A = this chain, B = another copy of it.
């Protein structure tokens, strides 16, 4: 004699197997099922609860009970684990992002495996291999060398066919249409540059990272701000560098520019706070004062910005929020609470914090 809840369970399972309900179609409310089988709500919940644990259906408080996606079932996946691929672990931005990810995930049952690529495409490949081998439920990835063609695109396409959700942080591979969390870097470059122009600066050095999209976009904003305010762009004042370049290269180029345009250059827009502080540091040794002689704008609004005696004017990066949102989004994706069509990528709007590293241009 089968018990009632087992009968209910078997019957609902057969609906699914017969295709009477399709994936993501509503099964019926608990009340419906109570009436259909003439049992109590508790019995229905016992049956439904079992089916959920076994992966046949999923429940959503306030909405209803739905047929699960069968293609996802029966995978011997590792228990609630998310892979995180960063470029640099130690970079100040990313440790904030990781903290955001961690603080959200710690409120769920998910944990994460952390890897870093050191912005190296070979290593990114190795990271993806290792992570996928562990059957993670999803991946959060900060693209490596996003400005350059990435030969690992196939991995990501393959994840899509295998229903492994992934989100991109900070940048995105243009070939992929994955959900992403980025900031409007172009606008960030724009407002930082505009701030300098409005202070009367006209000869502004821009320092940008050339091998990731963030750098390219910030540069575009830098250029647009010049155009918008009718300030001529001097190509020689744009300094590009790559991940592998030593910092001294930047120092040498700046000193070279200062020697050539000695009394002209009055401001610098730096790709990030670390470079900005590096510059302020060697300016100190050269007896160039910030902001009296040169104004400097950073990017990221890291805690470095307030560490020195000169407090950096900087563009705010939503570090922690970005990590939190990414974790939340990926968990929603895993648990089917977001449909493919709804995938709303987030673009954070930049803001500028004005501190003491910028001042009116000398006349």
**B77, A102: Cβ atoms closer than 8 Å:** no
Instruction: Give the total of A residues in contact with B, Cβ under 8 Å.
Output: 39
With A and B bound together, what is the CA distance between A49 and B50 in angstroms?
10
**B79, A89: Cβ atoms closer than 8 Å:** no
A284 in contact (CB, < 8 A): yes
A77-B76, A79-B134, A309-B284 known; A114 vs B114 contact (CB < 8 Å): yes
A175 in contact (CB, < 8 A): no
A99 in contact (CB, < 8 A): yes
Inside 8 A of A308's CB, which chain B residues have their CB? Answer: 307-309
Inside 8 A of A284's CB, which chain B residues have their CB? Answer: 309
**A114, B112: Cβ atoms closer than 8 Å:** yes
Inside 8 A of A113's CB, which chain B residues have their CB? Answer: 81, 111-114
**A95, B89: Cβ atoms closer than 8 Å:** yes
A115 in contact (CB, < 8 A): yes
Of A123-131, A140-148, A152-160, A214-222, the one contacting chain B is A123-131
Q: List 8 A-B contacts (CB under 8 A).
A: A78-B78, A78-B134, A95-B95, A102-B114, A102-B116, A109-B130, A111-B113, A113-B114
A contacts, CB < 8 Å to B: 49-50, 53, 76-79, 81, 89-90, 95-96, 98-99, 102, 106, 109, 111-116, 123, 126, 130-131, 133-135, 277, 281, 284, 304, 306-310
